[in-house]
Amino acid sequence: MESECAEILARAIRLPKEARAALADSLLETLDAEVDENAEESWRLEIRRRLVEIDGKAVDLIPWPDARKRLEVPTKG
């Protein structure tokens, strides 16, 4: 099985970028067997809640470059 997977991977890597992306997407879809029926509604409500906070000035927004710096993991050096 391991050699078969290695052969498939070697062939897949030689595909054009778009084909590799489509293949990866298809493979990932096969792993997500559980569907949360309420996920879309939950996300819609969460987005609405956050927009209300932003519009009501309940939260402080920061520019993307500042947010990105806060997300970066310091490297050891």
Note the pLDDT tens digit of each residue in 53-71.
Answer: 999 999 999 999 999 999 9
pLDDT at position 77 is: 60
Which position has the higher pLDDT, 26 or 73?
26
Note the pLDDT tens digit of each residue in 27-45.
Answer: 988 887 777 889 989 999 9
Structure tokens at 7: 């052969």
Cα–Cα dist 53/32, whole Å: 32
CA-based R_g, the chain, Å: 21
pLDDT at position 30 is: 87
